[in-house]
């Protein structure tokens, strides 16, 4: 069971999480808990890093003090046993001391130190939750992702667990599981040479499924602050409904294209071992939430969900030579691959002197640099870019072989006078993705939700 940041945001919520865990434990279920940082802490740690970069040490230390106070106050409110309070306060002191030392020494801003900095949120929340369990007579131990054996590659900031983690996690977690509820920090891994790595924002989901895969869990439960994986982002469309049952593939498409309730890579480990994933709401634990499984189920109306990813940017490469000159696309893709830049969407037409690429917004300046260097010989006339775009994705397994879906999607956009900048549909026909201007994202989501009557669906199991 993984609990997100809102689920552990204060003493009251941590108590709730401890009692939800205790219920399962008392039923005789073996539970491993994976926990996120208290909500807002990771953002504060990033701010600390930004301040240190700009040599604003005082601001950084003020933030560290705030983090220290919040965790200490929470411990005092949370725990009834004084020995437990003392022991948690001691641990917080130790971890905060290490953070202060890092802030003092962090002059050399390499990615590695940033991951180390970002890991402090989970390192602070895990002792609190583990103590809350002990306070409720549930034996518990806490450990970091590194101690649990989550070994990753060295892609700092978006590290990927390696297969050798399976054995290491099994060895460290299974013995603990026999006698306690282990509480493991989400988000954190460790490279082969022992440096702390992080799995990307929202990465605790990925930690949970990585650990679930290693111990071959019966189910992976993601506890969050909404009723499951919904038909769209409820902040934009309040009528969004819970998808009661959905396939791995569809959940992956929705999360890859912006449904942040699940980390985009969190489904992959579950697929490998065919483990069902449940998404549940910590605030309404009686509700079943979403069950994510292998099998696809076609629903009436075909489309199941729509999502939007805003942190993307468009790059256009143009020049008359693109028409009929073999190899230009290959050169562009090669240059981006060499710079470790992922291409989210590609579009080109045989009569068009343009290749359009969609990349992560954070990669934009590196992408342009890589392409300019690659085409410095003038084979290309112009490289333009636009960060003010979003990609909208319509998902549903039944779309394969059902004519007319694209027509309805684009008619709905036309009626809203939303201009489509780029379109892509994979041959598997599980989704249609298209790019619009960023300021039109919300109206695109609302009108598609209405067009496919997603607010009226009743996804019964
Ligand atoms: P946690 O802290 O529990 O990991 P996140 O903030 O990462 O939670 O993810 C949950 C949030 O994702 C929800 O509060 C919701 O606003 C947002 N969200 C966006 N799209 C969707 C969707 N399709 N279904 C559910 N939630 C979504
Ligand atoms: N604390 C990390 C973040 O805010 C990881 C997570 O919450 O899943 O991104
Ligand atoms: Mg999350």
Q: Do 14 and 128 meet the contact criterion of CB atoms below 8 Å apart?
A: yes
Report which bound ligand comes closest to the CA of 206. 2
Task: Starting from the CA of residue 199, give the closest ligand.
Answer: 2
> Closest ligand 2 atom to the C-alpha of 200?
9
Q: How far is the CA of 380 from the centre of ligand 1 (A)?
A: 41
Give the separation between CA 39 and CA 121, rounded to whole angstroms.
Answer: 9
Considering the chain, tell me which residue range(s) the CATH 3.30.2130.10 domain(s) occupy.
305-456
**Residues 217 and 32: beta-carbon distance below 8 Å:** yes
Residue with the nearest Cα to atom 7 of ligand 1? Answer: 261
111-120, 289-298, 438-447, 450-459: the lowest-pLDDT one: 450-459
What the block records as the tokens of 427 is 């041959």
Task: Give residue 461's pLDDT.
Answer: 36
Q: How far is the CA of 376 from the centre of ligand 3 (A)?
A: 41
Burial of 226 (0-12, 13-18, 19+ CB in 10 A): buried
pLDDT of residue 380: 84
Q: Is 5 in the pocket of ligand 1 (CB under 6 A)?
A: yes
Q: Does the beta carbon of 43 lie inside 6 Å of ligand 1?
A: no
Asked if 7 and 17 count as a contact pair (C-beta separation under 8 A), the reply is: yes
Torsional class of 40: left (φ above 0), alpha (ψ -120 to 50), beta (otherwise): left
Pairing of strands 188-191, 196-198: antiparallel
Helix (H/G/I), strand (E/B), else coil: 411: helix
Report residue 14's pLDDT band, with 50, 70 and 90 as the boundaries. very high
The pLDDT score that the predictor gives to residue 328 is 85
Strand partners, 143: 184
The strand pair at 343-348 and 354-360 is best described as antiparallel
| Residue having the nearest C-alpha atom to atom 11 of ligand 1 | 261
The answer to whether 152 and 162 have CB atoms below 8 angstroms apart is yes
Looking at the CA of residue 39, tell me the nearest atom of ligand 1: 2
Angle at alpha carbon of residue 201, lines to 198 and 205, rounded to 5°: 85
Query: Helix, strand or coil for residue 153?
Result: coil
Domain 2-218: give its CATH code: 3.40.1160.10
What is the mean pLDDT of the segment spanning 228-246?
A: 96
CB of 309 closer than 6 angstroms to any ligand 1 atom: no
- Strand order of the sheet with strand 196-198? 151-152, 188-191, 196-198
Q: What is the pLDDT of residue 349?
A: 73
Q: How far is 132 from 59, CA to CA, in rounded Å?
A: 32
Ion ligand 3 neighbours (CB, 5 A) are 4, 202
Nearest to 137 by CA among 26, 260, 257: 26
* Cβ atoms 74, 42 nearer than 8 A: no
pLDDT at 427: 66
Tokens coding 403: 């004519």
Class of residue 438 by CB neighbours under 10 A (exposed 0-12, middle 13-18, buried 19+): middle
Residue 309: burial class (beta carbons within 10 Å; 0-12, 13-18, 19+) = buried
Q: What is the pLDDT of residue 108?
A: 67
Classify domain 305-456 at the CATH class level. alpha beta
Residue with CA nearest ligand 2 atom 9? 201
229 pocket-lining for ligand 1 (C-beta < 6 Å): yes
State how far the Cα of 230 lies from the Cα of 348, in Å rounded to an integer.
33
Alpha-carbon gap, residue 389 to 434, rounded angstroms: 10
pLDDT surpassing 70 at residue 109 = no
Distance 204 CA to ligand 3 centre (A): 7
pLDDT bin (cut points 50, 70, 90) of residue 345 is very high
| Average pLDDT along the chain | 93
* Cα atoms in the Cβ-side hemisphere of radius 13 Å centred on 416: 23
User: What's the pLDDT at 399?
Assistant: 83
Please give the distance of CA 156 from its chain centroid, rounded to a whole number: 15
Higher model confidence: residue 189 or residue 108? 189
Which residues line the pocket of ligand 2, CB cutoff 6 A? 4-5, 36-37, 42, 121, 186-187, 201-204
- Please work out whether the CB of residue 226 comes within 6 Å of at least one atom of ligand 1: yes
pLDDT band at 458 (very low <50, low <70, confident <90, very high): low
Tell me which of 112-121, 244-253, 377-386 is least confident. Answer: 377-386
Q: Give start and end residues of each alpha helix (H) in 339-440.
A: 364-374, 405-415
Q: Where in the chain is the domain with CATH 3.40.1160.10?
A: 2-218
Closest among 139, 79, 82, 148 to 119, alpha carbons compared: 148
* Shortest-distance Cα residue to atom 26 of ligand 1: 261
Nearest to 32 by CA among 119, 126, 160: 126
Residue 203 near ligand 1, beta carbon < 6 Å: no
342 Cα distance to chain centroid: 16
**Secondary structure letter of residue 351 according to DSSP:** T
Q: Give counts: helices (H), strands (E), the chain.
A: 15, 17
Residue 376: CB atoms within 10 A of its CB come to 9
Closest ligand, as measured to the CA of 221: 1
Q: If you search the block for the tokens 């009743």, which residue do you land on? A: 458
Pocket test for ligand 1, best of 39, 42, 224, 238 (most atoms within 8 A of CB): 224
């Amino acid at each position: 069971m993984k609990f997100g940041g809102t689920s552990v945001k204060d003493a009251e919520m941590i108590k709730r999480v401890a009692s939800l865990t205790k219920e399962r434990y008392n039923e005789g279920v073996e539970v491993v808990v994976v926990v996120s940082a208290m909500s807002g802490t990771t953002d504060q740690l990033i701010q600390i890093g930004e301040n240190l970069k700009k040599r604003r040490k005082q601001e950084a230390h003020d933030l560290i003090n705030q983090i220290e106070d919040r965790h200490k106050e929470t411990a005092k409110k949370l725990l009834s046993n004084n020995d437990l309070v003392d022991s948690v306060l001691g641990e917080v002191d130790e971890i905060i001391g290490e953070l202060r030392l890092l802030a003092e020494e962090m002059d050399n801003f390499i990615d590695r130190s940033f991951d180390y900095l970002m890991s402090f949120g989970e390192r602070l929340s895990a002792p609190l939750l583990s103590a809350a369990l002990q306070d409720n007579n549930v034996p518990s131990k806490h450990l970091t992702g590194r101690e649990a054996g989550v070994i990753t590659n060295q892609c700092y900031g978006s590290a990927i667990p390696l297969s050798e983690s399976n054995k290491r996690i099994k060895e460290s977690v299974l013995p603990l599981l026999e006698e306690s509820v282990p509480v493991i920090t989400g988000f954190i891994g460790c490279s082969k040479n022992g440096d702390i790595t992080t799995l990307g924002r929202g990465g605790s989901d990925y930690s949970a499924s990585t650990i679930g895969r290693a111990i071959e869990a019966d189910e992976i439960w993601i506890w969050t602050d909404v009723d499951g994986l919904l038909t769209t982002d409820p902040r934009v469309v309040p009528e969004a409904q819970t998808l009661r049952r959905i396939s791995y593939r569809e959940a992956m498409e929705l999360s890859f294209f912006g449904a942040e309730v699940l980390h985009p890579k969190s489904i992959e480990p579950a697929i490998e071992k065919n483990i069902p994933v449940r998404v549940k709401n910590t605030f309404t634990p009686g509700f079943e939430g979403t069950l994510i499984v292998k099998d696809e189920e076609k629903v009436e109306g075909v489309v199941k969900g729509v999502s939007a990813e805003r942190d993307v940017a468009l790059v256009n490469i143009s020049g008359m030579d693109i028409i009929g000159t073999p190899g230009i696309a290959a050169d562009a893709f090669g240059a981006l691959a060499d710079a470790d830049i992922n291409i989210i969407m590609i579009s080109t037409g045989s009569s068009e002197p343009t290749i359009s690429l969609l990349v992560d917004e954070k990669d934009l300046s590196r992408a342009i640099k890589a392409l300019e260097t690659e085409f410095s010989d003038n084979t290309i006339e112009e490289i333009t870019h636009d960060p003010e775009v979003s990609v909208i994705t319509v998902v549903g397994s039944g779309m394969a072989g059902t004519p007319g879906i694209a027509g309805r999607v684009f008619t709905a956009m036309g009626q809203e006078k939303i201009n489509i900048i780029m379109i892509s549909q994979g041959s598997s026909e599980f989704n249609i993705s298209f790019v619009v201007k960023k300021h039109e994202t919300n109206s695109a989501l609302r009108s598609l939700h209405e067009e496919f009557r997603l607010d009226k669906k009743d996804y019964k199991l």
